[in-house]
A and B are shown apart, each in its own frame.
Chain A
Amino acid sequence: MAMDIETIVKTAIANQKMIDVDSIALETSLQDLGVTSLDAITIVYEVEEICDIEVPNDELESLRSVQDIVAGVHSLLNKKAGA
């Protein structure tokens, strides 16, 4: 599942920014990718739709890198699985 989520997140970023998915690394900062706040909520929307999770607004504030999104999705999926 780890790889899948990483792929889902990178694909959502690649689609939104119209860039090659291979150009995105886990440690890449969202700022370097030129991710605006509208991009960020759109990327999160795509991931929410695919993973069937709900990302709280306050968690969006703390997203700095691709890894942050992947980790956040993992955490939400784990919470959901435990619930």
Chain B
Amino acid sequence: MNDRVVITGLGSVSALGLNTDQFWSSVKEGRSGILPLTGFDNAGLKINLGAQVRAFDPTVHFFSKDVPLLDRYSQFALVACREAIDQAGLAAASLGGAAAVIGTGCGGKETDEATYDHLYRQQKTRAHPFTIPKGMPSAAASQVSMQLSIAGPVFTVSSACSSANHAIAQAALLIRAGVVDVAIAGGTDAPFTYGLLKAWEALRVVSSDNCRPFSADRSGLVLGEGAGMVVLESERHAKGRGASILVRLAGSGMSADAGHITDPSAEGAARAIQAALKDAGLNSQDVDYVNAHGTGTMANDRTETEALHRVFGSDVKSLMVSSTKSMHGHALGASGGLEFVATVLALCEGVIPPTINFTRPGEGCDLDYVPNTAREKDIHVAISNSFAFGGLNAVQVLQAV
């Protein structure tokens, strides 16, 4: 059994850049990756904004023989995993027994939709043979395993917008159970496909002007894409090889609302936060910063604030709470991964990410949301929240080392 799990590598691909340096400089500067949606001219979409990954050329990152079998969501996963493993300083030869737990909310939608278009719209009679191996929800996990020679437990976790946090929690549990010493985990999604955008449009939760979490004039979420991955290790393994430890993953908490398929529950969210703190052996007073789920929808931001009140009581006023989705958008299954990366760096560098586009507090949103400008402050404990559609909640507790 390994009691302590640490983080030794970070990787990201997002609208804020193709690596974690670019991601973190944008977050610190409060720079938004949300721009007018591209690639869907004259498609009749009401969605007009997106935090899309720009200037991403697969041929720069992959052998041309591999590209045809890599859906965009697998490409993001691979680039982020490589970066995290490089930072951790783990040689390929040492990953044979490692785990990879890859979260995704959507899977290979680009591939699926291309085939559906072919069949339904173009009236073709046969599907491309790559449709399943390229588009299946576990394709990214398989590609990570194949390309990085990760040969231990490898699987996909899917819990909509909590996928990455659930994946990281599973990886941590594998380490704590002594099954593996090293794991790569996080989330990836590439949801900018016509059918999926139409489906999001139908939910009427997507903003057509901007993402303004916790703000009175918030008008919904803005979709994003990318991947956020981290290397987890048992502390013993990391210290044994002289690795540079970024933070400790002190605990994870999971809960389900067992309520409604889209309406969030403050009670369910609060139970996930409480479970995470209990797992970490920490009290609510120990927490300095909350990287919020903070989608910018009316329902989430009010409910998440209420959940924080329930858990932190009168201490809630001294908490710093911010939503980096205001910059990298809601990258669905990748969001928790990107937010985990931001939370690790907040602890390492003593810089609290801002909630940008904040004008004035929304009704029921009465906390310190670190509005618009990053704040320099040394912190010791931070939590990162993910609350998915369908009431699936996962929260991480990170502790400075």
Contact = CB atoms under 8 A, between A and B. Distances in A.
A45 B128 contact: yes
A38 B126 contact: no
A18 B66 CA distance: 11
A24 to B, nearest CB: 16
Contact of A41 (B65, B124, B129): B129
B129 A49 contact: no
Interface string B59-93: 00000110000000000000000000000000000
A42 interface: yes
B64 A18 contact: yes
Contact of A38 (B64, B65, B129): B129
B128 A38 contact: no
Interface in B128-168: 128-130, 133
A18 B65 contact: yes
B308 to A, nearest CB: 49
Contacts of A42: 128-130
B133 A48 contact: no
Interface string B106-130: 0000000000000000001010111
Contacts of A45: 126, 128-129
Contacts of B65: 18
Interface string A44-83: 0100110000000000000000000000000000000000
B64 A49 contact: no
Contacts of B126: 45, 48-49
Interface in B349-383: none
A38 to B, nearest CB: 7
15 contacts: A18-B64, A18-B65, A38-B129, A38-B130, A38-B133, A41-B129, A42-B128, A42-B129, A42-B130, A45-B126, A45-B128, A45-B129, A48-B126, A49-B124, A49-B126
